[in-house]
A and B are shown apart, each in its own frame.
Chain A
Amino acid sequence: MRIAEAVDTPAPVRATGAGRRAPIVARLGRVVRVDPDALLARWWVAVGLYALAALYFQHHMLTHPGSMIAGNLVGLPTQYMWAMWWWPHAIAAGVNPFVTHALWGGAAYNLGALASSPLLALLCTPINLVLGWTRGPVVSYNLLNLAAPILSAVLARQLCLRLTRSPGAAFVGGWFYGFSVFGLCELQGRLSLVFTFLPVALCLLSLLRLEAAISRRRFVALSAVAVAAQFGISTEIAFTTACLSVVVVGVAACFAPAQTRRRLLGTVVPELLGAWGLAAVLCSPLLYYALTGPQVGSGPNSHLAVADLFSYVIPTPLVRLGQQRFALMASQFPPAAGFGDTGTYLGLPLLLGALAAAIAGWRIWGMRVLVISAVVACVWSLGPILYVSGSPTIGLPWNILASLREFGQVSPVRVGLYVELAAAIGFALWLAAPSRRRPLKWLVALVGIAFVFPNTNGLFPNGPAIYSENVDSPAFIKAGEYRSVLHPGETVLPIPFGLGGRSLLWQAQTRGYFRLAGGFAYRPVGLQQSIAVQQLSGELPLRRPAEHLRSYLLARHIGAVAVVDGEGGPWPRVLARLGLRARNVGGVAVYDVPAALAPVPDPPPRRRARRRR
């Protein structure tokens, strides 16, 4: 794509850029080749700076990499830590890794339909084996969180470099994408969504193939690997990337010159389809279970997890600059997405730079493709109804697609990622364009980076720290004291329950010594309406909790209830009403549940009399 032609004005020659073939912009007389060693050195400098930034943004975990993580979503990160145990364990044990019975009291639970990121889990196995399962999953989680933005930034830099031939502008473009607010949001606990390399990788590869800079075989192989890797990490991003790829190709087919269109439709698109097909074959078991396996309750409703129109320009508490002044506005964004998912913020400098590039290069077909695709992504991210500062206004086209099952499971707000990618590319093009005001442009770039700089030491309005969370397990798990009170394979009900606590990590750290009567955020279909589960999760008020809990304990054959000291809330009293007694072991109160649990005694007569009155 000749997006770089957006800056097609006569300009002095700049000594940057190199490639396997003559770069696009070289034909404009602006670029000369430089020493490949110099480019390599710049590459290392860029990677080093990205790595330093990633380390700084997540510096809270550096001091305690085995217990602290950069996140805030309590139990959500432990899903991925659990998966790091489950996938190698299941493969080594020869059981079906896509369906687990280790959660939800033995119910068949389909991991294919969830973000369990098997690829990441398997990649981390050597680390976990070396460090041991007590520290390993947390350290691996931290390492992956560090690697993801660097990978995205480096790939985005490569893409921008290909388009602009300016290492500086490419570095900034890479930064804006790699350290986008989308990434900062997902850093809160959604490891699968932190890995956002696929759209950039596909853009870069397609661009290279369009220019005939790589062979067909290499293009198909690399694309297939990228797609398969994304399938193995997050099917959601793979799906949205596929959808927007269709949009990009469609728009390009409309605007590209005849020769380029022929090459695009005749060569690149069929080969890309081949790569997707190959990746689909590679990931066919995962896709099979994702589409046809046991059903899992649907996640956040796509109608609700949408971006507010202002979320593109109003910072949330995740960003340092302006977060206090705009806190009230940010708090009005649609609550289903919340601060943890509303990662669409671009900041005014980035937006203005990208707009300037769009205006300057509107006559270039590549820029039109970029802009129109970004607009489509933006509209998609806004969901079925346009929200303006929290107020619903007009219906949007997404309303039509949301009724389809596949689209209905996507959170529109996350499609903002592609707007950020387009903005990063646009900004890099604007920055690289020859101008008398280069210092001013670079000042804008620095201000733009400041605008999306994370609020690393900040707190959410409700109190907890944004970029640090302690996931340390009690001595009950770490010192192996569970062995003295739990039987192997026994089903344990952990309190705090589900993602309110870290029981998934406990199971990983004990290498599946016990089964859990809880699990991931999404419940098996049979348990979605369970009153006990909803009460344990805090979703329903506690009305007759003892009766509901008793039914749940019996139905799931739960052998013990493990309540973390000081985090049990009202449940120790409920358990006492069931006649269960606690044994304090390593910071956890363990209640043995007999197979024949006595019925809940009637309330005392005085209370009943008061009720009658």
Chain B
Amino acid sequence: MTAVGVATVPAEAEPTREPAGAGRFPVWFRDRHGWIAAGLYLAFILFLDRHAVAHLNSVCGCARTADPTQWMWSWVWIPYAITHGLNPLVTHLFWYPGPFDLAAVTLSPAAAIPGIPLDALFGPVAAFNLLFFAAPVVSGWAAYRLCRYLSGAPWASIFAGYTYGFSAYELAHELAHMNLVWVFVPPLIVLVLARLIRAEVSARRALLQITGLLIIEFGLSTELFFTMALFIAAGFVIGWLMAPRELRRRIAGAAAVTFGAGVLTAVVWSYYIYESFQAPPASKGFPPFFPADLVSYFLPTDMFRLGSATFAAVTNRIYTSDPTEQNSYLGIPLIVMFVAYGVSTWRRRITRTVVLTTFVAFVLSLGVTLTIVGNQTFSLPYHWIENLPLFNLLTPSRLSLYVSLGVAVGAAIWLAAAHGRRSRVRRWFLALASLVFLYPNNAFVTPAFLSRESDFTQPRFFTTSLYRHYIRRGEVVLPLPFSYGPGGLSLLWQADTGMYFKLASGYFGTVAPPSYAVNPLSLDLVIQTVPPHAARDLNQLTRTHHVSVILVQDGTETQYLPMIRRAGWRLRADVGGIRVYRRAAGGAHPSR
């Protein structure tokens, strides 16, 4: 038991006799169970995404949407910008003529640090796959570290790490969102703070560690950075209220250290922050549209194998067509474990802090209005903050991440606290049941997002040098499918060619720049409707943005062909899976 009393659970069992040379390695490195945890998580994600593993550069362990192309593009763009002396936070290469402010969107420069070399070595899809494989492993391992520290029980912590690393939130965002799958920072910061409060680490060292983690988190996702800061603050307030006087001083000290780390982070990212305010946000949250339904914590979606078909009639009424926002499912056994933890150890301060902070996250994740099986009932606290700056950019259901973390911690401590064989068997039975409940559905298929793994094979037109024969360097291209419409992977086309051409399209968030948004065709093309006035709109769009080439992917041409013909564009080539159209008066490309 700890001396301080904030955590009245056993501290992590450290090895009493260290092997020779052990001092050179940090504790986490020497933790055998940590390696086991990481190995198990890695094996599991590789098993889940086995098709992507087998076809690393053509099958993506994600859904075939425009979302993943943002990061694949950025891993080409950032070195391109640096080598060409351009500002990496502002681009003119898509949504031509731009400029488009990348600091205001989900660029994830921190993910680019491993992404750029991996992309250079293996290609964009492989790089994306490798990072997607790593994300749940690292996140689960981080949760394992925290739970191991708080519970002292390695296997309970491995279990808890799994429930966090492969939570509904993680699985949902593993469909598309590179910026949101890296969630290892919250548990690690909590771990550092817990150690700081228990005086196991000096304030200076904690400051360095927290600053480092915050810098990484900011670089991964400003949204996660903000929500994490919010819940750390909530944890401080709740912990302070629960703590005795002497402990309050330490909590206040830890809060000051965290604040200092936040200031340092802001300094490091100051230019990025400055740039992000230079343009309106193109990627925004949807407070009223994506709340976590109350039932969604209990009933599985298509992403989980057990019960998804049985409860489909209910869950189909809960969720929108976007499965990446189905973040909340915990499963009844895990909820029972957490409730049992809360009830059985309610007198402990750590329990109250964990439970109340989780409860705050839970309530906020429910969004503006309490929704039960799709029925809106009454207003919730989020209603008061939904229009505040930054809060209006959040998606409430994503706050379920912190519910997952709280539940994982509670479950680990509860499992570790089992006394006697009977109690252990019962608790582990529940833990195994929750693993079964949380087992992902490999056969996940939806009309909107297809499946967990999808074919990202790109047209030969871009993967070879064919495009050089039909497009001049720096020419403005209108790609079809357009923007983030179904099959719209034009950012990846551009990245594949090493930024050879400019795009009169793009995708970093659903909000198009005003010069595009004023033309109704930009939305019509996204939702794949071609109205009668489409030809006129197309000419207006192409003239306004100096488009000289239209590239249409094979298989999608039938719906666009009448519009393109009526607008006076003629087919110049049908090669490498792409149809190249130019204006009738323009003639063939001289290089042809």
- Determine, out of B36-44, B282-290, B371-379, the stretch whose residues face the partner at the interface: B371-379
Report yes or no: B314 in contact with A389, Cβ–Cβ below 8 A: yes
Q: A326-B377, A388-B295 are in contact. Are A393 and B313 (CB under 8 A)?
A: yes
Q: Is B469 an interface residue (CB 8 A)?
A: no
Question: Using an 8 Å CB-CB cutoff, how does the interface string of B295-337 with A read, 1 for contact, 0 for none?
Answer: 1000100000001001101100100000000000000000000
Q: Are the C-beta atoms of A393 and B311 separated by less than 8 Å?
A: yes
Q: Which residues of A contact B311 (CB under 8 A)?
A: 388, 393-394
Given known pairs A325-B377, A359-B343, A388-B295, the reply for A394 and B372 (CB within 8 Å) is no
Is there contact, CB below 8 Å, between B375 and A328?
A: yes
Bound CA span A388–B374, Å: 12
Q: Which of A328, A329, A389 has the most CB of B within 10 A?
A: A389
Q: Is the interface of B mostly helix, strand, loop or mixed?
A: mixed
1/0 per residue, CB under 8 A from B, across A580-592: the answer is 0000000000000
A389→B313 CA distance, assembly (Å): 10
Say whether A393 contacts B378, CB under 8 Å. Answer: no
**With an 8 A cutoff between CB atoms, is A391 at the interface?**
yes
User: CB within 8 A of B372: which of A389, A391, A392, A393?
Assistant: A389
B375 touches A391 (CB 8 A): no
Interface string of A295-315 (1 = CB under 8 A from B): 000000000000000100010
- Interface digits, B377-405 against A, CB 8 Å rule (1 contact, 0 not)? 11000000000000000000000000000
Flag if B317 contacts A391 (CB, 8 Å).
yes
B375 and A329 form a contact (CB under 8 A)? yes
Instruction: Evaluate whether A391 and B310 lie within 8 angstroms (CB atoms) in the complex, with A325-B378, A359-B343 already known.
Output: no
Number of interface residues of A (CB under 8 A): 14
- Residues of chain B within 8 A (CB-CB) of A325 are 377-378
A-B contact count (CB 8 A): 38
Q: B299: which A residues are within 8 A, CB to CB?
A: 388
Within 8 A of B (CB), among A136-169: none
- Residues of chain A within 8 A (CB-CB) of B307 are 394
Contact call B310/A329, Cβ cutoff below 8 A: no
**Shortest distance from the beta carbon of B122 to any chain A beta carbon, whole Å:** 45
Complex: how many Å from CA A393 to CA B311? 5
CB of A340 to closest CB in B, whole Å: 21
Interface residues in A285-335 by Cβ distance below 8 A to B read 310, 314, 325-326, 328-329, 332
With both beta carbons as reference points, the residue of chain B lying nearest to A362 in the complex is identified as B343
Pick from B313, B343, B377, B378: contact of A391, CB below 8 A: B313
**Of A326, A329, A359, A392, the contact of B313 (CB 8 Å cutoff):** A392
Docked Cα-Cα span, A394 to B372, in Å, equals: 19
- Provide the residues of chain A in CB contact with B372, threshold 8 Å: 310, 314, 329, 389
- Contact indicator B314/A393 (Cβ below 8 Å): yes
Cβ contacts under 8 Å, A393 to chain B? 310-311, 313-314
Tell me which residues from 321 to 359 in chain A have a Cβ below 8 Å from any Cβ of chain B: 325-326, 328-329, 332, 359
- Bound complex: CA of A325 vs CA of B310, how far in Å? 28
Residues of B within 8 A of A359 (CB): 343
Bound together, the chains give a CA A9 to CA B343 distance in angstroms of: 16
0/1 per residue, A389-402, Cβ < 8 Å to B?
A: 10111100000000
- Provide the residues of chain A in CB contact with B310, threshold 8 Å: 393-394
Residues on A with C-beta less than 8 A from B343 are: 359
Within the complex, what minimum Cβ distance (angstroms) separates A597 from chain B?
51
Inside 8 A of B314's CB, which chain A residues have their CB? Answer: 388-389, 391, 393
- Taking CB as reference atom, which chain A residue is nearest B339? A359
Residue in A closest to B374 when the chains form the complex, CB atoms: A389
Contacts A310-B373, A391-B373, A393-B313 aside, 6 further interface pairs with beta carbons under 8 A come to A314-B372, A328-B375, A332-B375, A388-B314, A389-B314, A389-B317
Complex A-B: 5 CB contacts under 8 Å: A329-B375, A329-B377, A388-B314, A389-B295, A389-B314
B residues near A388, Cβ cutoff 8 Å: 295, 299, 311, 314, 373
Q: Collect the chain B residues with CB atoms within 8 Å of residue A332's CB.
A: 373, 375
Inside 8 A of A326's CB, which chain B residues have their CB? 375, 377
How far, in Å, is B233 (CB) from chain A's closest CB?
Answer: 28
Bound-state Cα–Cα, A391 to B316, Å: 10
Give the contacts of B417-446 with A (CB-CB under 8 A): none
Bound-complex Cα distance A326 to B375 (A): 8
Distance A146 CA – B571 CA, assembled complex (angstroms): 86
Chain A contacts of B313 at CB under 8 A? 391-393
